[in-house]
């Protein structure tokens, strides 16, 4: 087992080799990785089964088990993600602009690799491949530190990726997995100054805040998702019910799932029974405000401040009746995590006001919040959903994993 410092030195040594790779070489490596995952699906599933068995024995909830679980279809999707990343334009070397100054200097700005990117994540084995493929195409080496819950899966995936690169004559140390899953290794990774150029946490609120508060290396903060669906007075109610069910129930364990429903008072008496009926097949628990309980009855759990601020990651949702659009916007901006928000409305004016005033990375009109995803947005894969406003915001694809460099041509100018 390689210790963290051995991995850090290997990644640092490899970053120049990765940065020098041409687009064809990087795409060849990604195709080799995709083929390796497909060819070794049974091996990956066996490793994943060991993680799932251990997770259930340790009492992981169903949301986390779902995040942890790999299937043949999910592995196929991960491989397809690698191919989509390969098909994307290579951002490295792109000249963003160039202009000539009055003194004759030609100044340009181009995209360059980050160098070494660290990712700390939890029970999400797909992140192992998503992160590695994006970093590789973006010309950077990566150090991956997954959670202990997904260790066997992540280890198997990493070994396959490294072997695929090696067989293609490409630097295998472009992709590195920290095998020590203790808290000490996470803390040590947060302080790898001189080795990590950026650290990206991907997981629950506890992990993200621990990295933000304790890291001494630069951090890009990815977000938890307290996402809302607001049903406006003019909404198509059948559409609203379909969007709500998809946003809440299609996959409960993800950060772009809806955790709160807001309903305009003018249609609350009509829509709330529709919503409760639509959510009933999935046995969704509703935590409602007094007006919600007045309409749906006392069987609805009372909602308090903690419910409105909570990312359930379960078959639960908070519900509030609001007087108007302004109250809905104020409520969302108070309790959301800056991730994804939705309005269902037939009013153009309401949709534009919602788009302009909601403070979030992704804002939807008449569509489910579940679409906030790098794969869906056409990025091939994503490193995470950034909810901060510096460097990157929203699903982070290739361009978000690059830095910039000014290039200046002169003909003898001095100052």
Token duo for residue 267: 């249609």
pLDDT in tens, 101-146: 999 999 999 999 999 999 999 888 999 999 999 999 999 999 999 9
**Cα separation, 404 vs 398, whole angstroms:** 13
Q: How far apart are CA 259 and CA 249, in angstroms?
A: 10
**Strand 106-113 relative to strand 402-409: parallel, antiparallel, unpaired?**
antiparallel
Q: Kindly give the pairing relationship between strand 95-100 and strand 106-113.
A: antiparallel
Question: What is the reported pLDDT for 25?
Answer: 98
pLDDT in tens, 244-254: 999 999 988 88
List % helix, strand, coil for the chain (3-state, nearest 5). Answer: 45, 20, 35
B/e letters for 32-53, b = 16+ CB within 10 Å, e = fewer, are bbbebbbebeeebbebbeebbe
How far is it, in rounded angstroms, from Cα 240 to Cα 364?
13
Does 326 score more than 70 pLDDT? yes
Tens of pLDDT, residues 215-242: 999 998 877 789 999 999 999 999 999 9
CA-to-CA distance for 132 and 100, rounded, in angstroms? 38
**pLDDT, mean over the chain:** 94
For 169-211, write each residue's pLDDT tens digit: 999 999 999 999 888 999 999 999 999 999 999 877 788 889 9
Contact 404, 107 (CB under 8 A): no
Q: Contact, 319 vs 285, CB < 8 A?
A: no
47-84 residue pLDDT tens: 999 999 999 999 988 878 888 999 999 999 999 989 99
Which residues, listed in sequence order, are joined to residue 301 by a DSSP beta bridge?
287
Distances in whole angstroms, Cα of residue 343 to Cα of each of 67, 252, 257: 27, 20, 14
Whether 197 and 115 have beta carbons less than 8 Å apart is answered as: yes
pLDDT class for 380, splitting at 50, 70, 90? low
Residue 247's nearest CA partner among 340, 140, 166, 119 is 340
Give me the pLDDT at residue 334, please.
97
State what percent of residues in the chain have pLDDT above 90: 82
Q: For residue 377, which of 94, 78, 24, 85 has the smallest C-alpha distance?
A: 85
Tokens found for residue 68: 């942890």
| Residue 218: count of CB within 10 angstroms of its CB | 14
DSSP-H helix ranges across 138-233: 151-167, 183-189, 205-214
Angle at 182 between CA 177 and CA 187, to 5 degrees: 85
Is the CB of residue 11 less than 8 Å from the CB of residue 143? Answer: yes
Cβ–Cβ under 8 Å, residues 139 and 174: no
The rounded distance, in Å, linking the Cα atoms of 64 and 148 is 13
The DSSP code sequence of 206-233 is HHHHHHHHH--S-B--B----EEEEE-T
Contact yes or no for 273/231 (Cβ under 8 A)? no
**Residue 276 and residue 178: Cα distance in Å, rounded?**
45
Q: State the pLDDT at residue 209.
A: 85
User: How far is residue 235's CA from residue 243's CA, in Å, rounded to a whole number?
Assistant: 11
């Amino acid at each position: 087992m390689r210790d963290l410092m051995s991995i850090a030195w290997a990644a640092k040594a490899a970053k120049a080799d990765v940065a020098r790779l041409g687009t064809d070489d990087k795409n060849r490596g990604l195709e080799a990785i995709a083929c390796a995952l497909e060819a070794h699906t049974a091996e990956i599933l066996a490793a994943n089964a060991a993680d799932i068995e251990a997770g259930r024995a340790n009492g992981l909830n169903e949301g986390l088990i779902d995040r942890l679980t790999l299937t043949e279809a999910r592995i196929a999707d991960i491989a397809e993600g690698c191919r989509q990343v390969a098909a994307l334009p290579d951002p490295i070397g792109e000249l963003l602009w160039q202009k000539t100054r009055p003194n004759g200097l030609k100044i340009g700005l181009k995209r360059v690799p980050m160098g070494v990117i660290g990712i700390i994540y939890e029970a999400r084995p797909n992140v192992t491949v998503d992160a590695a493929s994006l970093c590789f195409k973006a010309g950077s080496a990566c150090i991956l530190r997954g959670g202990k819950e997904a260790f066997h899966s992540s280890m198997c995936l990493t070994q396959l990726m490294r072997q695929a690169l090696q067989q293609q004559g490409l630097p295998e140390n472009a992709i590195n997995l920290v095998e020590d899953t203790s808290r000490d290794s996470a803390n040590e990774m947060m302080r790898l100054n001189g080795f990590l150029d950026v650290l990206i946490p991907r997981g629950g609120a506890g992990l993200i805040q621990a990295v933000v508060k304790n890291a001494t290396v630069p951090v890009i903060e990815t977000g938890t998702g307290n996402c809302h669906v607001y049903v406006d007075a003019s909404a198509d109610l059948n559409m609203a019910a379909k969007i709500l069910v998809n946003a809440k129930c299609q996959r409960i364990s993800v950060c772009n799932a809806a955790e709160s429903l807001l309903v305009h008072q003018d249609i609350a008496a009509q829509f709330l029974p529709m919503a409760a009926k639509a959510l009933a097949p999935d046995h969704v628990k509703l935590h409602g405000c007094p007006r919600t309980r007045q309409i749906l009855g006392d069987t609805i759990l009372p909602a308090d401040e903690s419910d409105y601020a909570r990312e359930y990651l379960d078959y639960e949702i908070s519900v509030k009746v609001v007087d108007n659009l302004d109250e809905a916007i104020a409520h969302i901006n108070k309790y959301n995590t800056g991730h994804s928000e939705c309005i269902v409305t037939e009013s153009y004016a309401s949709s534009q006001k919602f788009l302009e005033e909601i403070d979030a990375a992704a804002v939807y009109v008449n569509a489910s919040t579940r679409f906030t995803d790098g794969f869906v947005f056409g990025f091939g894969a994503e490193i995470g959903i950034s909810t901060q406003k510096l460097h990157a915001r929203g699903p982070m694809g290739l361009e978000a994993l690059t830095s910039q460099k000014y290039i200046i041509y002169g003909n003898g100018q001095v100052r």
